[in-house]
Amino acid sequence: METKKVSRYYVYILRSLKDKGFYIGFTSDLKKRLIQHAKSQVTATKFRAPFLLIHYEYFINITDAKARERFLKSGYGRKQLKEQLKRTLNNFDDK
């Protein structure tokens, strides 16, 4: 019996410890991407490091993952995200 390799895609949310803003991203290799963010190798975030990974979602379908990223980057998506993570954000802001 052959084992089929399952593709992995992640939508992730970082919180900048510098400016407390969000970064919403998409990747197929979360560990590698987080290292790139930490080393300031990502143009969009290099001046906002350091970061804390506060949320991620896993998908096996690239289209679903990209759609979720687009939604979270929308006004309504950001609003929903802030509501979903309100306790996490309150805890983060208390420190």
Instruction: Specify the DSSP class assigned to residue 7.
Output: P
Q: Give me the pLDDT at residue 77, please.
A: 94
The topology (CATH level 3) of 9-94 is GIY-YIG endonuclease (3.40.1440)
3-state secondary structure of 8: coil
Q: Quick: pLDDT tens for 3-39.
A: 778 899 999 999 999 998 999 999 999 999 999 999 9
Instruction: Specify the DSSP class assigned to residue 43.
Output: T
* Tokens read off for 61: 């379908």
Q: Under 8 Å CB-to-CB from 49, ≥6 apart: which residues?
A: 16, 17, 18, 37, 38, 40
Given a cut of 60, whether residue 62 has pLDDT beyond it is: yes
Give the sign of the dihedral formed by CA 79, CA 95, CA 24, CA 55. negative
What is the share, in percent, of the chain residues with pLDDT greater than 90?
A: 78
